[in-house]
Structure 1
Amino acid sequence: MPSPTSGTTKDLRTCEDGDCTVEVREGDVIPFGESVRAPDLTIDAIGPAGVDLRLSGEGTTSTFSGQSPYQGGGVSTYNGTDFRVLEIKGDTAVLRIKPNGL
């Protein structure tokens, strides 16, 4: 069975379609294309308490604080796109972003 982090990339542009597994650092901004109903995703913090994610665009800001691989359901959703932290390693984290079928 493949690792949940297999296929991970550091190229944030692969997330433009809202379907990627990507390694991020604090301060990274993931831009989404027009087909994704979510504003750009900013990685505000990565640490032992989890990853803080912020979606912000025209008149919209949503924050998901303390996201971790160990949280309850593990998935945060915004407008049909799921965000899951798969792994935290020091100052990096691996995120799985994908459409949730809405």
Structure 2
Amino acid sequence: MRSTTIASGPAVRLALTAGSVTVLLAGCGGGAARSSATTPVSRPVMLAPVSPGPSATPVPAPVPSTSATPSDLTGCRDGDCEARVREGDRIPIDPGLGVDEITVIGLREDAVRLTFTGTSTVVDGTNIGISRSCYNDRCRVRGALTISVSRPGRIGDVGLRLARVEGDTAVLVLEPAGRQGQ
């Protein structure tokens, strides 16, 4: 049976962090010790000083810009849009264009790294990597590429241009490949 406990405050976070570290370290020893606890690690843990105050004031979570929500990115399905994206955003594309989905996996001050899935092996950009697997004459392509402000790219029938990078967001312009650069 699984139970969930919700707790907050610096002392609780410190106790939970210490417990997680203990569980992780217990798994490092030799022997057949096994743990049924799963502790996903996705961000560095930062410990805050514990103060004997009455109660901690909750800090509101940052609200993502509306242009970074998946529902807004569905407007790019036809391969013709301008989208403000962040690392981790997935842009669904009409499979008839040779690409099913484009995912932002990295941002630099003048470049963006993208991964994609689809059927087309027509890819342009820099640092390109493609793998293709076929079963009963149905082929799937997975790949990655980098585009920059000075070097656009292409996946299948979708042209890609990086308009700008602003902090942790980028403005990508997707357009039909025949119109790219016009």
Give the TM-score normalised by structure 1.
0.77
In structure 2, what is the Cα distance between the partners aligned to 1:60 and 1:89? Answer: 30
The structure carrying a bigger strand percent of its residues is: 1
* RMSD, aligned CA: 2.0
The offset of 1:97, in angstroms, is 0.3
Answer with 1 or 2: which has the greater Rg.
2
Deviations, residues 31-56 of structure 1 (Å, cap 9, x unaligned): 01244221200000112362101112
The structure carrying a bigger helix percent of its residues is: 2
Identity, in percent, stands at 32
In structure 2, what is the Cα distance between the partners aligned to 1:80 and 1:59? Answer: 16
1:60 aligns with 2:141: yes
Pairs aligned (count):
90
Judged with a 3 Å threshold, the aligned counterparts in structure 2 of structure 1 residues 34 and 56 are, in CA distance, closer, same or farther, namely: closer
Give the TM-score normalised by structure 2.
0.45
Which aligned segments of 4 or more residues in structure 1 are displaced greater than 6 angstroms?
none
Residue identity opposite 1:63 in structure 2: A
In structure 1, what is the Cα distance between the partners aligned to 2:96 and 2:142? Answer: 19
Aligned partners of 1:68 and 1:88 also within 8 Å: no
* Correspondent of 2:158 among 68, 74, 81: 81
Which structure's relative contact order is higher, taking Cα pairs within 8 Å and 6+ residues apart? Answer: 1
